[in-house]
Amino acid sequence: MDWHGFLLLWCAVCGVWALFGYGRSLIGATPAQRAVRVTGRIVEVRTPAHGNPGTDGIPVVIAFPDPATGREHALPYEAERGITLDTVWLGQEVAVLHPPGEPHRFEVTYDLQDGRHGRGWPHFAVFLLYAGLVADTALRHGYPWALLGAGGPLAVAMTSVLRHDLVLMRREAARLATAVRVPGRVAAVLESVHEDGEGSWTSHTAVLVFTTREGTAVTARLRSGIPDPAHAYGRELTVHYVPDDLALFTLDPAAARRSARWDIAFVVLVLLLGAAAAVAGAVLLWGQGADVTAAGR
């Protein structure tokens, strides 16, 4: 089978996969649509011990009701499934979902509406289908089609991301302007050993604790923002937090603003690269068309 045949088979498989997924979503048969969705709350926070291996988020115990029986479950959560909880406090509300009749298989999601229709995999199948069509067209008719087919959608997607990130940056900047300052402390430094074929290295993650002026104890796993995290155990820090959203805090407001601007700059760069690729592809195709027309005369 040549490349053309392989790519056509690829597109056919992805198309069937997408149709199957959308069909299941239409009749309400996807796991996401059948899942039980309830609001839970954190009833216990288990701060990792200093020197322990790194964890995915802060281990907690989450309590949530079972609509079928009225019973309340209180189960440990360590992000084996679902999102990680990097900033937690007692009483924090979280969105919980689990298969019907299997509360022990619960996971935490961003909100109760997140992925409710179960169309994530069908959307991914459509993306793979489109990638296969672009690759086949480029192989048969030349690389300008790859530039146009990849650059155009990338520029459109990055335009949407840029609009979203600008709104988010302005909103967070306005909220951090009202932040309250309180003392914090690095309660633990987690150590993870990573290995590859050439050797091993150790990464360090700081666990920060601080208490708000209202008396709420917050525990956070910091992926970045602390200089020399390997030697940060016990270090005293100043935390700037937003009272109505304790997950929104920073140790350095100026650094947070710089980081947001760098994120925007990266999105703009990718947008420009996508637009340039699309324009280059269109110009090359137009030039090829003009050459064919001239040759025909």
Report the distance separating Cα 79 and Cα 64, nearest Å.
16
Residue 144 · residue 201 · CB < 8 Å = no
- Tell me which of 48 and 163 has the higher pLDDT: 163
Amino acid 208: pLDDT = 93
68-105 in b/e form (b: 16+ CB < 10 A) is: eeeeebebebebeebeebbbbbeebebbbbbeeeebee
Closest CA to 173 of 244, 241, 253, 268: 253
What pLDDT band is residue 1 in, cutting at 50, 70 and 90?
Answer: low
pTM of the full structure: 0.82
**Residue 253: what residue type?**
P
Report the distance separating Cα 221 and Cα 241, nearest Å.
15
Question: pLDDT above 90 covers what percent of the chain?
Answer: 52
Amino acid 294: pLDDT = 56
Work out whether strand 93-98 and strand 107-109 pair parallel, antiparallel, or are unpaired: antiparallel
Phi and psi at 191, nearest 5°, equal -120, 125
Report the distance separating Cα 169 and Cα 60, nearest Å.
29
- The pLDDT of 130-151, averaged and rounded, is 90
- The pLDDT of 83-97, averaged and rounded, is 92
Which one of 41-45, 140-144, 283-287 scores highest in mean pLDDT? 41-45
Report the distance separating Cα 248 and Cα 230, nearest Å.
24
